Amino acid sequence: MPLGLLGKKLGNTRVYDASGAAIPVTVVLCGPNRVLQVKTQAGKDGYNSVQLGFDDQKEQRLPKALLGHIKKQNGVAVKRIKEFRDFSKDVKPGDIVGPTLFAPGDFIDAIGTTKGRGFEGVVKRHRFAGGDSTHGAKGWHRRSGAIGQRLFPGTVMRGMRMPGHMGQDTRTTQNLEVIQVREADNLILIKGAIPGAEGDYVIIRESKKRPKGWKPPVQPVSKKKAAAAAKPAPAKK
């Protein structure tokens, strides 16, 4: 996790590129992130990491142990704290980092908590087709059907998809492109959707599969296509 930020999802909108094409984006408030602690491999912690805090909070609303940890680092009370290992930017406690860690064209991974859906049936939760609507089917339109066997093994198999609680799971969306970085407003506009509802906290980190400087692989050109491209165009009559 070389680079990362804590943020808050504000909503979705669209922006336009130079050619006038509309790009759907998610707006994320990514600052200010305060550096609370810097751990080093040479120190007592034994590894390199940076602790970031986001969204100021009243001191009386924090546990005494957490508040003591923040005060020890001469920091301020915050609502969210996240530790990023192997932070590639050189920082020290008290520094402020923001959306300028990323630039348009960079790829990021967004980590958030999905919206809670409550108790749902198998049709919505697992996309079951359900039963027939005709041919004498009564009362089985949105049910799952049989869930077990007879005498052997005489039990419900583990992992059986059934009705239950849906949502509120941690999910990571990978390889999202940064479209705009608005430093004055501490905003990052990211192409695509991010898990969570408006106002939820999210983690924006440098993409593991597409780090800074990544470029799409060059597709090999077959000999037939290369020969056709090199062949001069016929003269016009």
Mean pLDDT score, 194-209: 95
Measured in degrees and rounded to the nearest 5, phi and psi for residue 35 equal: -80, 115
Task: Give residue-wise pLDDT tens across range 172-199.
Answer: 999 999 999 999 999 999 999 999 999 9
Q: What's the confidence (pLDDT) of residue 184?
A: 94
The rounded distance, in Å, linking the Cα atoms of 115 and 98 is 26
The rounded distance, in Å, linking the Cα atoms of 90 and 97 is 11
Q: What's the confidence (pLDDT) of residue 138?
A: 86
Residue percentage of the chain with pLDDT more than 90: 72
The rounded distance, in Å, linking the Cα atoms of 170 and 28 is 17
Kindly list the domain boundaries of the chain, sorted by start residue: 4-115+171-230, 117-166
Q: DSSP readout, 49-106?
A: EEEEEEEE--GGGS-HHHHHHHHHTT---EEEEEEEET--S---TT-EE-GGGS-TT-
130: buried, middle or exposed (CB in 10 Å: 19+, 13-18, 0-12)? Answer: middle
CB-based contact 1:204 (threshold 8 Å)? no
- Containing 126, the helix (H) or strand (E) segment is helix 122-126
Q: DSSP readout, 165-187?
A: EE---EEEEEEEEEEEEEGGGTE
Compute the CA torsion angle 81, 82, 88, 92 (nearest 10 deg). 20
CATH topology of domain 4-115+171-230: Elongation Factor Tu (Ef-tu); domain 3 (2.40.30)
Task: Give residue-wise pLDDT tens across range 39-90.
Answer: 999 989 999 999 999 999 999 999 999 999 999 888 899 999 999 999 988 9
